Amino acid sequence: MFAMEDTWAESQGEGVTVAVVDTGVDASHPDLTGQVLEGKDFTGGGNAQADEQGHGTGMASLIAAHGHGPNGASGMMGLAPKAKVLPLRTIQDKGDKFLDETWSAAVRYAVDHGAKVINLSFSQDGGKTANVGREAIAYAQAHDVLVVAGAGNDGSVAVDEPAALPGVVSVGSVDKDGNRWVGSNHGKGLTLVAPGVDILAANKKRAQGYSLSTGTSDSTALVSATAALVRAKYPDLTAGQVVNRLIKSASFLGHKGLEAPDDEYGYGIIRPYKAVTMDIPKGPKEGPLGKLQLSSDASSKAGSPAAGDDDSSTRAKKKSSSSSRLLLIGGIAGVVVIGGIVFAVVRSRNKRGNGGGPYGGQGGGPGGSGPQNTNYAPHPAGPTSHGPSSPNPYQQP
């Protein structure tokens, strides 16, 4: 598994706020108490600290869960246990439409309320991001906020938007052996991969408060958490320079002969410890992925601070060209009995295909010998086609 004890000696995400644009976050979960800010509900339901579906709570726990009980010895730990979570609820029920107008308003709110990382564990429903969504992404980039999004769960050779947009960190999934999960979208524009199969997460909808899930949602949250660790450790770095560290510290592990960016693994599997400890030059302020370029008129809207105060009910009056779907839930595989601290990343079962997995063995922790990526190229343009999508955002792959 990730060498988190060593990583936490360097950084725990302190002082960094990660916005979770999702179904809300259950602030009463014992592993999240004190970590969840008030946030905002964009659905008209009123409370961003409520979560009827459990998806947003799971993502928040992978980022910032801190365990509970004496000395935090019970429950689970996220990768950045001292980061704060800003919950932004953009969907309540399974049947709700997840519109660009809604999530884009949440992105702008996140920027205006101090988030340094924005987690988008959702993808476009087989289409392109509407102008209002692109403007919101550009607004975040213009204000030095890192945006992380899931590549999609269709197994398609096409990264979904908004992950495919320039400057967005697009995330795919690997299994316990470090191999691409079969349902993970891939292709040009993929930035990084992270564990995404049988991942432990908080879920108060289950009797014991935890469950296992599979999907690029989970991988996205782990990358957002790693970005929070880097931003806490190196507060002087721009968002682009944080991406540079994530890319340079990633590894293909046992996959030999790959050249970054690879269509299946991007620049490699994240390594949180290496991301906060490697000697990596800052690089250009813009970073390796560039930024989303808009027309001059759209750019002026994207850069307007007043736009961030826009409520979703106002934006919803504008014509919508697309809707989105949450990336989960490759299924809740079962409830896990917790004994002592259980880290957010599921432990390897010591099956080492292709020379090593992301949780141990070659390159897995401090002193690991796995190869690292030392070069990068500009972020490719997003794909023009997408794989099949389900009208139900919670349908299992």
330 located within any domain = yes
What integer pLDDT is reported at residue 208 of this predicted model? 86
Counting the structural domains of the chain, the total is 1
What integer pLDDT is reported at residue 71 of this predicted model? 81
Region 125-141: mean pLDDT is: 91
CATH number at residue 18: 3.40.50.200
255 located within any domain = yes
Region 17-37: mean pLDDT is: 97
Taken in order 285, 373, 235, 289, the sign of the CA dihedral is positive
Q: What is the pLDDT of residues 55-111, one digit of tens each?
A: 999 999 999 999 999 888 899 999 999 999 999 999 988 777 788 999 999 999 999
Q: Quick check: 248 pLDDT over 80?
A: yes
pTM of the predicted model as reported, rounded to 2 decimal places: 0.82
What integer pLDDT is reported at residue 263 of this predicted model? 95
Q: Greater confidence, 341 or 351?
A: 341
241 located within any domain = yes
Question: Which residues are known to be catalytic?
Answer: 22, 55, 217
Note if the bond before 288 is cis, omega within 30 degrees.
Answer: no
Domain residues for the domain of 130 are 4-355
Q: What is the pLDDT of residues 280-321, one digit of tens each?
A: 999 999 999 999 988 655 555 565 543 334 443 333 333 334
362 located within any domain = no
Q: What is the pLDDT of residues 216-232, one digit of tens each?
A: 999 999 999 999 999 99
265 located within any domain = yes
What integer pLDDT is reported at residue 294 of this predicted model? 84
374 located within any domain = no
50 located within any domain = yes
What integer pLDDT is reported at residue 72 of this predicted model? 80
382 located within any domain = no
